[in-house]
Structure 1
Amino acid sequence: MRTVLIAVTTLLAAATVVHGGAGPAVAAETGAAWERVPLPSSVAAPALLQSVAATDPANAWAVGGEAMSGRDAGTPLILRWNGATWAKAPLPALSWSGSLRSVAGSSRFEAWAIGRDTAGLSHVLRWTGQSWREVPVPGGASASLTLSGVAAGPRGSAWLVGHDGDRPVVLRWTGGVWRAVASPVEAGRLAGVRATRHGVWVTGQEHVGGEYVGVVARWTGAGWTTVTTSGVRADGAPISAINDVLAVAADDVWAVGSVAVRGPGGLSLTQPWTGHWNGTGWDSSLRVPAATIEQNVTITPDRAGRPQWVGSIVGPNPASTRYARFDGTAWTEVSGSPLAGVFIAGTATAHIPGTNATWSVGALATQPPGGFAWGTPLIERHDGGR
């Protein structure tokens, strides 16, 4: 069996790998290349970037951590794109060490970021148009609460998802306060949330019958319409998690995540999964090639709102970052920046509104003797040309 990754719900979150045989040949690439964009020289290595969001061609945010020590300890890092260069954004005086894992923005004047400190406590930061400031975590911070995804909606609204133990958590920001929203599932873990013109969508895992299965749910304004993958199989295995969703319409929904498989000795492993919901059922036939991609992390659209790119996790020792691209008929695996000395590479993508272009940020990890360490973060851009 080829190399696979233990399931994760955020980019490279405590990723663990095992080794196996080589996969099939990688499909030929098409279109313009991914280009690496310079980072600010002031970013303190080792560092990582885990999430990126763009509101227009001249405004984007990327978040992660710098001066990292081991897997978790470091200083929160936010970068901002002004249309020409990336620069470090000033942060308020923070009383905690850790990193940021997700960012979302609805305009140049409204953005949110979430992170986790070395004590396991979740944190929320808000961009007010002039500065970042910390917003208290709803219900108080506790080590059992994990915030995994954030979305910025219209008119200053925002959403948070995560889990408290095995209890899914959904929170909505309206009128300057956080309000709890009933979860679409009773037990499980929510990984991501997107606020779109077709509604608010959440993704994650539902705990059903002793196993975790992927789930997608849409907020209607009065409640949730939930689409589970319970009973859905890909290569005979269940869909263990859904990490991201792209809703073209209510009956045209694309989701990416992972399939649970069993490795040597019964070890639980994952393979990438891409599914299409047509309003009545899931179609898993349009699979992202699994030559080197081990888990699908994000899915982002082209200018017309159709699927275009999948960000992914690859390893061990990848020759480059890897993506999958959809041409309207099939997915093709595509190389990004060449890599050397990297044990695991993960990319998270974000569409640039008003264009056919896409941002991507990367978290690169090495495996020194007896340890696991973050390497040099990267930012890439693709202009969308074919």
Structure 2
Amino acid sequence: MPRTARTRRTWRALRRVPAALAALAAATGAAPPDGAGPVPAAAGPVPAAAGWHVRPAAPAVRNQELRAVAALDARTAWAVGNEDTGPGSVPLVERFDGRAWRRVTVPAATGGLDAVLPLGPADVWAVGSRADDPDDPPGPADPADGDDPGGPGRGLALHFDGRAWREVPLPAEPAGRAAHPFALAADAAGLWAVGASAADRTAQPRPLALRWDGTAWRRAPLPGPGGDAVLLAAAPDRAGGLWAVGVAYDPDGTGRPLTLHRDGAGWHQVDAPSPAGRTSTLEAVAAFAPDDVWAAGGTGPSDDPARPFLLHWDGTRWQDAALPAGTGGVLHALAAADDGTLWAAGEQPADATPGFTLRRRAGVWSHRSADRTPAGDGASLLAVAAVPGTGAAWAVGSTLPQQQDSWHPVIEAYRP
């Protein structure tokens, strides 16, 4: 991916969807990676002090970005993203084995991964988008791979069975359209992927929901918000259902929060407040209970998102929620820990080191600075995950937003 191209962050930055999908298309037209086999990483010292500390990622010979992270337990975590190849990018998967982060071999594909979800040691899913040959015009759907073999690109789903990763077909889209799953979550009905389906990569994006029924991915009907819309995050509601959040666009391009809830009767759109005269989007959602759900993103003038946006669901309605005074930038991720702690991660683009985190414990928010040592210089944080049963957390991202000639992945560990 060229350093001036944008990936999912374009959606996060509240830009108009067609322009974002065009950038996504440019960012994912690449050749398959060369080489094979896992790449080891130095373990590095375990941080002694409480707080966020950079941990070494797997050694890289190309520019890389990590977009999502999830922890199964204290000894197992996964992070996914993309690796630059010059004209495009290829998927990147790293695994923490209790000592070090190591790169893992995945099926050759162009594009990148936006979400990862470990359901067990031998049941891990990752989704994102891939691009076929940009010079190959769109053709009819191919039953062998579940999508158009060329032209508009397509969604990418990978599964790890404890031994190896393999690609799993996604449902075929109508001719000229492509699916772009951005998030994963599981509820009583099984595993879900949400995102957007768009025409020719750029036009008429519509919310997308796919359900894994144990043998295949199947598309699920969604209520239409009207006009362009994208789902960017999903989380179980802790009562057998699911929340999905994102952004819906008015005809003039103004974005407003989009929240959908799935219960036993299906998916329903739920009204959410939106600041008047501002573009607002939701990029993250996390739940502790059916009446304790949080959603976060950013809000600001249409051409310049300026501040975080946080909502809380009390079981009846979404309401604006306050953040610590002086909090700026945009929130990209939320994580609900099993001890009741809520983590938020985001970036303040104007800062030399944009990444920051917030922690809510016992009803009180506080800032938790990302690593400010030289090892953390330039880091943006795009995802955060609580480590079950420990009070610890992982955060990942990259130094790409600083528009450096080269950039590298960022992995930080929080020690309580």
The TM-score by the shorter chain falls in which range? 0.7 to 0.9
Gaps of 5+ in 2: 1-5, 16-48, 135-152, 199-204
Corresponding position of 1:3: none
**1:153 Cα deviation from its structure 2 partner:** 5.2
Question: Which of 47, 60, 73 is matched with 2:64 structurally?
Answer: 47
Which of 341, 358, 363 is residue 324 of structure 1 equivalent to? Answer: 358
CA RMSD of aligned residues (A): 3.1
Residue 410 (structure 2) aligns with: 378
Question: 2:120 — aligned with what?
Answer: 107
Identity rate, percent: 28
**Of the two structures, which has the highest relative contact order with CA contacts closer than 8 Å and spacing of 6 or more?**
1
Pick which of 195-204 and 334-343 moved more. 334-343
**Deviation per CA, 1:156-193, whole angstroms, max 9, x where unpaired?**
x3211111233211110003112221214443211112
Q: What secondary structure is seen at the aligned counterpart in 2 of 1:147?
A: strand
Q: Could you tell me which residue of structure 1 aligns to residue 335 of structure 2? A: 300
Q: 1:131 to 1:153 in 2, by over 3 A?
A: farther
Corresponding residue number in structure 2 for 1:349? 384
Counterpart CA distance in 1 for 2:208 and 2:405 is 30
Q: How does 1:135-150 map to 2 (within 5 A)?
A: 135-140=168-173, 144-150=178-184
The 8 Å contact of residues 336 and 386 in structure 2, kept in 1 or not, is answered as yes
Equivalent position of 1:253 in the other structure: 293
Q: Distance in 1 between matches of 2:373 and 2:301?
A: 28
Contact 2:235 2:287 in 1 (8 A): no
- 1:12 Cα offset (Å): 6.3
Query: Which of residues 213, 216, 222 is equivalent to 1:183?
Result: 222
Contact 2:14–2:279 (8 Å) recurs in 1: no
- Find the counterpart in structure 2 of residue 34 from structure 1: 52
Corresponding residue for 1:64?
81
Distance 1:16 1:219, change over 3 A: closer
Tell me, yes or no, if structure 1 residue 197 matches structure 2 residue 247. no
Residue matched to 1:79: 94
Report the AA paired with residue 117 of structure 1. Answer: R
Q: 2:194 aligns with which of 152, 161, 169?
A: 161
Q: 2:255 maps to what in 1? A: 212
Q: How many equivalent pairs are there? A: 346
Q: Distance in 1 between matches of 2:397 and 2:172?
A: 32
Query: Residue 52 and residue 91 in structure 1: after superposition, are their counterparts in 2 closer, same or farther (change >3 A)?
Result: same
Equivalent position of 2:368 in the other structure: 334
Q: CA deviation at 1:331?
A: 2.3
Query: In 2, are the aligned partners of 1:168 and 1:189 still within 8 Å (CA)?
Result: yes
> Is 2:347–2:354's contact at 8 Å kept on the other side of the alignment?
no
CA contact (8 A) 2:258 2:272 kept: yes
Question: Cα distance, 1:302 vs. partner?
Answer: 2.7
What is the rounded CA distance, in whole Å, between the counterparts of 1:363 and 1:32 in structure 2?
22
- For residues 351 and 85 of structure 2, the distance between their equivalents in structure 1, rounded to whole angstroms, comes to 20
Alpha-carbon shift at residue 312 of structure 1 (Å): 0.5
| Equivalent position to 1:173, from 195, 212, 235 | 212
Letter of the structure 1 residue corresponding to residue 322 of structure 2: L
Asked if the contact 1:270/1:294 (under 8 Å) is kept, the reply is yes
Q: Per-residue deviation at 1:296?
A: 0.6
Q: CA deviation at 1:63?
A: 0.5
Which residue of 1 is the match for residue 37 of structure 2? none
Q: How many Å apart are 1:260 and its aligned residue?
A: 3.2
CA distance in structure 2 between the partners assigned to 1:322 and 1:361 by the alignment: 11
Q: Is the 8 A contact 1:238 1:260 kept in 2?
A: yes
Distance 1:299 1:57, change over 3 A: same
Residues 128/356 of structure 1: CA separation in 2 closer, same or farther (3 Å cut):
same
Structure 1 unmatched ranges of 5 or more: 1-7, 18-30
TM-score w.r.t. length of structure 1: 0.79
- Normalised to the residue count of structure 2, the TM-score between the two structures is 0.74
For the 8 Å contact 1:301–1:351, the answer to whether it is kept is yes
Contact 1:274 1:288 (C-alpha < 8 Å) held by counterparts: no
